[in-house]
Chain A
Amino acid sequence: ETGVTQTPRHLVMGMTNKKSLKCEQHLGHNAMYWYKQSAKKPLELMFVYNFKEQTENNSVPSRFSPECPNSSHLFLHLHTLQPEDSALYLCASSQAHRGLSYEQYFGPGTRLTVT
């Protein structure tokens, strides 16, 4: 379980706070992802980065801002969130080659509560 790490594991923040989630992968992969997992809903893909370039942004509100400084690190910056943003945020990575990606490896997630 050390392939993809996420910090913090738990975060409680007010609606006016600014915080960041961090993800690091130790697998040598070149693609990284952010997902939102809410109760009784399918995982929602938020952002995809290939070789540090953002390739997918699935209509995510601007209060979520991703950053990928290198292929091993991925951040999700949070600003003026709403209570409905409370969820488990999962990071994943995979090896992509010529647009073809293989299975994704997930981190343990950050449990976010917005008060």
Chain B
Amino acid sequence: AQTVTQSQPEMSVQEAETVTLSCTYDTSENNYYLFWYKQPPSRQMILVIRQEAYKQQNATENRFSVNFQKAAKSFSLKISDSQLGDTAMYFCAFMKNNNDMRFGAGTRLTVKP
């Protein structure tokens, strides 16, 4: 079974600074997808960024980028120029070539003014 591990239950960062959230996963599959989702307090879960395992290039979405290390089964999220609105729970997720998505336990990120 695929498992997703987020080793940092809580993190904090100063506004405008950079923070990296860690995620590792375990799988024997070669083709799969990885995601980072954001769940702000009392608000809906939204997709932040996605990465296809067959792509070597790291995905980037504005201030959000990933460091995808396939051999190490690592998928970290870097948030640059942190903003107060980035305060949220961040979930790393893994999905094979079907609809079964597995989530990590989440990292609670607080951006401090």
Contacts and interface: CB of A to CB of B under 8 A. Distances in A.
A37 to B, nearest CB: 9
A2 B17 CA distance: 32
Contacts of A89: none
Interface string B84-100: 00000001000101111
A45 B97 CA distance: 16
Contacts, number: 51
A14 B60 CA distance: 47
Interface residues of A, number: 26
Interface residues of B, number: 21
A41 B102 CA distance: 12
Nearest to B103: A43
30 contacts: A1-B43, A1-B44, A4-B44, A31-B99, A33-B99, A33-B101, A40-B105, A42-B103, A42-B105, A43-B91, A43-B103, A48-B99, A55-B98, A56-B99, A56-B100, A90-B45, A94-B99, A96-B99, A99-B98, A100-B97, A100-B98, A101-B95, A101-B99, A103-B35, A103-B47, A104-B47, A105-B47, A106-B45, A106-B46, A109-B44
Interface of A: 1, 4, 31, 33, 40-43, 45, 48, 50, 55-56, 90, 94, 96, 99-101, 103-109
